[in-house]
Structure 1
Amino acid sequence: MSAPTHSGAGVETEAAEPIVELADVAFGYTATPVVEDVSIRIDPGEYVAVVGPNGSGKSTLLKLALGLVRPDEGDARLFGEPAHRFDAGERVGYVAQRAGASDEMPITVREVVKMGRFPHVGFGRLSKRDWEIVDDALATVGMAAFADRRVTRLSGGQRQRAFIARALAGEADLLVLDEPTVGVDAESVEAFYDLLAALNDDGITVVLIEHDLTAVTDHAERVVCLNREVYFDGPTAAFVESDALARAFGTAAGLVGERR
């Protein structure tokens, strides 16, 4: 099954080099493919949600895009380079469900955000300008008042904001999030998505896996629906009107108004 051609979601990027480009990609951890025949292009400034049932290859797709695993077949490029060779890590901010070992360590929010400067300065002393960037990132995500609080004392939503601030401190062009709102209360989820929208408006490309389909239809501009193969790739409004979700899940799945 081949994916429909996608020309961008509300962003004039015809002359721009794609940030992510997967061409006829296949990958499997065993003899059984986890993803196969996947072709996706993500241009600068897009806001893309990847949806699909559990085990559909969503996280693997992100790993392929970021060069964390190499495709068995096809080509994966990040900022125009082979993804597995891409070494400008400061351009990518990755936020997982649990954003790393440091959320269990007795370090402060400011110390977490400081890590975003390491690709620029190594492990040496930060300059005054570096600290200004750290504090600006904290302010942008609404976490300035929590700068000296230990990460272990944050709520789920606050912790995810701290790790987005770390990406911003690294001056990332691409923000990748893997089910970032798992375990986050509904009020914080809405504020979290308002933050992502503001960052996207500022030019940061956003790609996320999200289990909450209502959040996807409310916020993302483009949807990639995956179950090993791509069942849909296009504007969110068209996704809502399509039967891609039911085909990908193998059921008469509902969409609008449902929380999953």
Structure 2
Amino acid sequence: MSRTDHSEERAADAAVQPVVELSNVDFGYTTTPVVEDISLRIDSGEYVAVVGPNGSGKSTLMKLMLGLLRPDTGETRLFGEASHAFDDGSRIGYVAQHASASKEMPITVREVVKMGRFPHVGFGRLSDADHRIVDDALETVGMASFANRRVTKLSGGQRQRAFIARALAGEADLLVLDEPTVGVDAESVDAFYDLLESLNEDGITILLIEHDLGAVTDHARRIVCLNREVYFDGPTDEFVESDALARAFGTAATFVGGT
């Protein structure tokens, strides 16, 4: 099935329910809250960046969204279902923090991308159609010529493209990336964000946690600024003009680059 057919199949669901929804969410690893009274909604096709200082709860918020953590109070939902009970892993492509720096995967790029088909076919033999989907994913991220190279021999930016290709091979509707440009050189960062923008234009919902404020304000269409609570949630240009960054960081923070 092509991505177009796949997207059309799920279009009816997307029209009536958000991809991610949090309602009055509180969570703490101890008695001290890490995130507090968070309510937000991400609809199909959005490109959302979550920003905030170190220790602000960004990664915790993402884990709550994905059902990896359960809130102390409130509710989190994925594609209309309780996040902790959601079990259609093929709909979510997750690229973890520091994935680009991994040196512990002595397998080829093609083998990484083929993993994206496992939620659909298990660990059985891939069909010709599955192999075509893998090839298409490699082409989309510009990694076809690296298909037989070991992941350990790739640059940081190339590794991230391989992991995104794995998500595409799984036909994910939501791509979640946790600080994906850590350890990636500046030139590769620009190309990486161009790729994300292209994927978003093709209909994939992007949820990004990023420390590079200039990059997210250049590319993301919506910003959620967090420091335990939400200080801003809205269009990127309005965020740049607001004082939310300074309030969330507790300093006279300014943008370097950006819109």
With structure 2 as the length reference, what TM-score do the two structures score? 0.92
Alignment of 1:1-260 (within 5 A): 15-99=15-99, 104-257=104-257
The one-letter amino acid of 2:200's match is N
Q: Provide Cα deviations, 1:1-60, integer angstroms capped at 9, x if missing partner.
A: xxxxxxxxxxxx994310000000000011101001000100000000000000000000
Matched letter for residue 139 of structure 1 = E
Could you tell me which runs of 5 or more consecutive residues in structure 1 were left unpaired when the two chains were aligned: 1-12
More helix by share: 2
1:98 Cα offset (Å): 2.8
Displacement of 1:101: 10
Cα deviation, 1:165-218, whole Å, max 9, x if unaligned, reads 000000000000000001101110000000000000000000000100000110
Contact 1:240/1:256 (8 A) holds in 2? no
- Displacement of 1:102 in angstroms is 7.5
> What is the SS of the residue equivalent to 1:196?
helix
Counterpart CA distance in 2 for 1:194 and 1:20 is 24
Contact 1:103 1:152 survives alignment (8 Å): yes
**Structure-2 separation of matches of 1:236 and 1:87:** 32
Mapped contact 2:97–2:178 kept (Cα < 8 A): yes
- Cα distance in 1 for residues equivalent to 2:65 and 2:211: 19
Amino acid at match of 2:121: V
Q: Are 1:102 and 1:112, in contact at CA under 8 Å, matched by a contact in 2?
A: no
Note the alpha carbon deviations across 1:193-250, whole angstroms, 9 max, x for none.
0000000000000000010000011000000000000000000000000000000000
CA distance in 2, matches of 1:122, 1:17: 28
1:81 and 1:246 mapped to 2: Cα distance? 35
> What letter matches 1:199 in structure 2?
L
Computed over aligned residues only, the root mean square deviation of the Cα atoms, in angstroms, reads 1.6
Whether the aligned pair in 2 keeps the contact of 1:223 and 1:236 (CA below 8 Å) is yes
Quote the Cα distance in structure 1 between the aligned partners of 2:111 and 2:52.
35
Alignment partners' CA distance in 2, 1:152 and 1:63? 27
Structure 2 counterpart of 1:4: none
Aligned length: 246
After superposition, the Cα gap between the structure-2 partners of 1:126 and 1:14, relative to the gap in structure 1 and judged at 3 Å, is closer
TM-score, L = length of structure 1: 0.92
Show structure 1 runs of 4+ deviating over 4 A: 100-103
Identity level (%) = 80
Q: Distance in 2 between matches of 1:88 and 1:197?
A: 25
Unaligned runs of 5+ in 2: 1-12
Return the alpha-carbon distance in structure 2 between the equivalents of residues 199 and 103 of structure 1. 27
Question: 2:16, 2:108 → 1: CA distance?
Answer: 38
Contact 1:16/1:44 (8 A) holds in 2: no
In structure 1, how many angstroms separate the alpha carbons of the residues matched to 2:67 and 2:205? 17
